[in-house]
Amino acid sequence: MSTFTNPLKQRLKDPDPLFGLWLSLGSDTAAEALAHAGFDWLLIDMEHSPNDSVDVTGQLRAIAAAHLPTEPVVRLPASESWLVKRVLDAGARTLMFPNIESADEAAHAVRLTQYPTAAGDGMRGVAGAVRAAAYGMRRDYVQNANAQIATIVQIESAHALENIDQIAATPGIDCLFIGPADLAASLGHLGDPKHPDVVAAIARIADVARRAHVAAGIFAMDVASARQHRTEGFSFIALAADVMWMLRATRQALQEVRS
């Protein structure tokens, strides 16, 4: 039996919703504290937050320190081999790739997460003494890692929408995740993710994911939106971001104490 397992990969196949939170503050202390909140997953953002490889490693350690079944997810800034390799070696098991627009790009993302096999389909470099392999003590890591890495691709553009069926059918894709703000902008409705065109696109992506037997994910700005997306068939839902909740709570408290 492998000592390297990713429970989130299996849970993405279930219909029960998985609720997570964006970690955008770049703080291992915030990551550790929020790991105690009971989220199914926490996403460490490298695309729009000041996180580098060292920051990601620190937050992975912080989440693990909570000793709770909260799975860390890392969003990469790009589909680059050296970035993927560093994040996986640091111990991440679930990766999110931004702005995937075609089946070829989706397949490339999957290959970046995989060690080479006899079929020659993987591109990940091999190193034994890394955190993911318990610095060489988890001896079955290399043999079992490929099957345990979960790959999430973001659907954020009109071009991706045109190719959504092919992207969803790409082997190795576990979840289609919608970035509503970028999708709205690409569809010509910058700042208006509630526009009917965007709403229709979101519904189509959820339907394609369901038919392809992959999870559908989305970023929700608030609780009401998260509940609505749950009824729409989304099962991997981000409940906004750490900095957003911090500002909402503190601004509300400040307004109340001043009133």
The CA distance from 180 to 188, in Å, is 12
Q: State the pLDDT at residue 118.
A: 78
Which position among 36, 48, 67, 189 bears the catalytic label?
48
The CATH classification number of 7-258 equals 3.20.20.60
Domain boundaries, the chain: 7-258
Q: State the pLDDT at residue 2.
A: 47
Whether residue 48 lies in the annotated active site? yes
The pTM score is 0.95
Q: State the pLDDT at residue 239.
A: 97
Q: State the pLDDT at residue 229.
A: 96
List average pLDDT for each run of 10 residues in the chain, which is 259 residues long. 79 96 97 97 97 97 95 97 97 98 98 89 92 93 95 98 98 96 97 96 97 98 96 97 97 96
